[in-house]
Amino acid sequence: MDKVVVTGMGIISAIGDTVAQNRQSLKKGISGIGHAKHFVSKYTQLLPFAEIDYSTSDLKKKLNITQSGATRTDLLALYAFREAIADAQLETSSLVSRQIALIGASTVGGMCLTDELYADANKKGENGSEYLLSYPNSAGAMFIQAQYNIGGIVNTFNTACSSSANAIMFGARLIKNGLATKAIVGGVDSLAKYTVNGFKSLMILSDAPCRPFERDRKGLNLGEGAAFLVLEKEKDAAGKKIYAEVKGYGNSNDAFHPSSTSPEADGPFLSMQRALQSSGLHPKQIDFINAHGTATENNDETESLAMLKLFQTPPHFASTKSYTGHTLGAAGAVEAVNTILSLYHQEIYPSLNFENKIESTGLVPVKEYGSKILNNVMSNSFGFGGNCTSLIFGKI
């Protein structure tokens, strides 16, 4: 069967609004976590966030969007989408083909406008609100579809923090099963009161920049971002830059708890194991893992346990959430881009803010930037509700 490869990538996050800018921040150890300037919340001055340095009105101007009802989430998705299709040399006129799929992902969707929707609905009464159609988590994908009249399968995943990793897996499977020749896959989320208040109620937000896999970690920092990848068959990618092969993927659900993985790490272990099985690789053939690494008490310990169970001696690993914060439904795609950058440029970006290892596991993430021979890399995304997804990318 022909290989499914990545021929284009686009990203906007707190550390850059292009793929190249994100890479430079990762190389230089520059984090985007700090005080938010555009997000309005009672927690803005109390907690750090990984905010993109554009206001929503700035984004509308940059993208030349004038229509009403476009949310910050929609705009971030469109921003990353445009870079991805340009990078893959896709003509916009070709997107009407029924063989081109768009698979998005989001958990926030239009919830960034919850206050506006509430006020508008009360004002207009039975006439409804202009923000209503922008509210679902599928609104971002539908916004892009409307902009480009995309003719193939359009779908949206909402499996919490594994959402866009599942979008990537689904897109690759569409191509392998002959349901699309190209798939534009990724995800988006923006900062929103709804999610910030929810995470605050769970008591897992840190009042300082997050410290993945650190003994004294205090929790995660919420971020925002969007990333898209263009997937196609290797035989159709002649003359294009090829970043990586989508070599394997695995999904599981340990169904243990609404917001925690099981103490035995069943979900993370199975998703990584199934990704290896689908790729035909052995554990020792994985050279690096971009870990889910949220810096929460539960996740980092159980992910470490799962890596120890599967690999015995785990490969080098790190968490780029120490740069971008936790971008929720966008995390799988944002971190897939970061992982593919490691593979393509043969370099590893370190976890930030690490000092002491977790005593029960003894694992230490990569702490310094450096060059390394990489052939196969893994990216982990573990979501609330127990949905866990692992992706493996291989060097071409």
Question: What is the set of active-site residues?
Answer: 161, 292, 326
Six token digits for residue 174: 């569409």
Strand spans (E) along the chain: 4-12, 33-34, 49-50, 100-105, 154-157, 182-189, 225-233, 244-253, 288-290, 316-318, 347-348, 370-371, 376-382, 387-394
Q: Which residues contact 265 (CB under 8 A, 6 or more apart)?
A: 302, 303, 305, 306, 309
Whole-angstrom Cα distance, residue 146 to residue 102?
12
What are the φ/ψ torsions at residue 245 (nearest 5 degrees)?
-100, 140
Distances (CA, A) of 101 to 87, 141, 303, 336: 17, 11, 32, 19
Whole-angstrom Cα distance, residue 74 to residue 274?
33
Six token digits for residue 202: 């769970």
Whole-angstrom Cα distance, residue 245 to residue 344?
11
- Measuring CA to CA, which residue among 209, 159, 230 is closest to residue 189? 159
What are the φ/ψ torsions at residue 243 (nearest 5 degrees)?
-80, -40
357 DSSP β-pair partners: 214
Q: 71 near 141, Cβ under 8 Å?
A: no
Q: Is 151 exposed, middle or buried (0-12, 13-18, 19+ CB in 10 A)?
A: middle
How do beta strands 244-253 and 347-348 pair?
Answer: unpaired
